[in-house]
Homo-oligomer: A and B are copies of this chain.
Amino acid sequence: MTRFHAPDPFDSRGWRNRSFVVVFGHHTFAGRAFDVGLIVAIMASVAVALADSIAPVHARYGRLFYALEWGFTLMFTAEYLFRLMIVRHPVRYARSFYGVIDLLALLPTYLSLLVPGAHYLAVLRVLRILRIFEVLHLRRYTRATSILLDSLQNSWRKILVFLLAMLAIVTIFGAVIFLVEGPENGFTSIPLSMYWALVSVSTVGFGDLAPATPLGRMVASVLILIGYGIIAVPTGIYTAELATSLRTRRDARTCEACGLVGHEPDAGHCRRCGHALPEAGG
């Protein structure tokens, strides 16, 4: 990902290039130190937001937390501007996945000047920690992540169809339970009843609302059975895609002698004819 932001390669001794290696790179000592320091700072700033939300702690350390939060925010703002400055294509960085998250993580504190309480959204900074996989050179993790995301990408269309069908179920059952139970049992409107239907069909079942009449309980039973039947669907979609992903990642090579495809990743010879296989690419 960092390769898209490489600064001028012909000026490798300039301060921008040297800064780039530290801020965006993970291979030098200074680069790793910067990464670790950044992640510690992010974690600390999230911890401040969490602690500040606890009333007794806020009462005691509120002013300290306020100062800390602005300190972190100004620091991260400086870091963000610095990244924009040293990168070769600032717009491309600003629009990349990490660039957007870096910006989003800054806004809540500034927003809190206008909207009190907005600074709690500074917990969005947790998303910056996802960078940890890149920092720690955990190639196997990024490979695992990419398999997961590939499968999600292949199956999102089916999952969207499924979610729309579920929205229809929730709307219809919400209206039916509203008619059957009515406001006297807590189902005061169809939107509220739809919330109940969603909570039920997804097997969450808070129990803040529950049918109290025999007929309402029969409706709930039918809804639960439907939910029980269709909870299989997203799992099935995703599992089938993932199984395909895992299989096709193994099956890239073709035997040059007999044309068999579908070799295991450690195979050096075709299992049908014994001819030597090309090297596994990855």
Contact = CB atoms under 8 A, between A and B. Distances in A.
B276 A266 contact: no
A272 B269 contact: yes
A163 to B, nearest CB: 7
Given A234-B231, A235-B239, A148 B158 contact: yes
Contacts of A220: 195, 199
Interface string A177-220: 01100010000111111110011101111111010101001101
A228 interface: yes
A269 B266 contact: no
Interface residues of A, number: 111
Given A50-B191, A214-B191, A204 B176 contact: no
A6 interface: no
A145 interface: yes
A224 B202 contact: yes
Interface stretch (A9-17, A59-67, A89-97, A167-175): A167-175
B229 A183 contact: no
Contact of A239 (B123, B164, B232, B276): B232
A261 interface: yes
Q: Most B CB atoms within 10 A — which of A162, A204, A247?
A: A204
A267 interface: yes
A117 interface: yes
A173 to B, nearest CB: 10
Contacts of A233: 148, 238
A151 B236 contact: yes
A204 B226 CA distance: 12
Contacts of A178: 53, 120
Nearest to A268: B272
A189 B271 contact: no
B237 A224 contact: no
B190 A53 contact: yes
Interface string A82-121: 0000000000000000000000000000000000011011
Given A53-B191, A124-B175, 19 more contacts: A117-B179, A120-B178, A121-B179, A124-B172, A126-B171, A127-B168, A141-B161, A145-B161, A198-B225, A199-B224, A228-B234, A231-B235, A239-B242, A239-B243, A240-B242, A243-B244, A248-B264, A270-B271, A271-B271
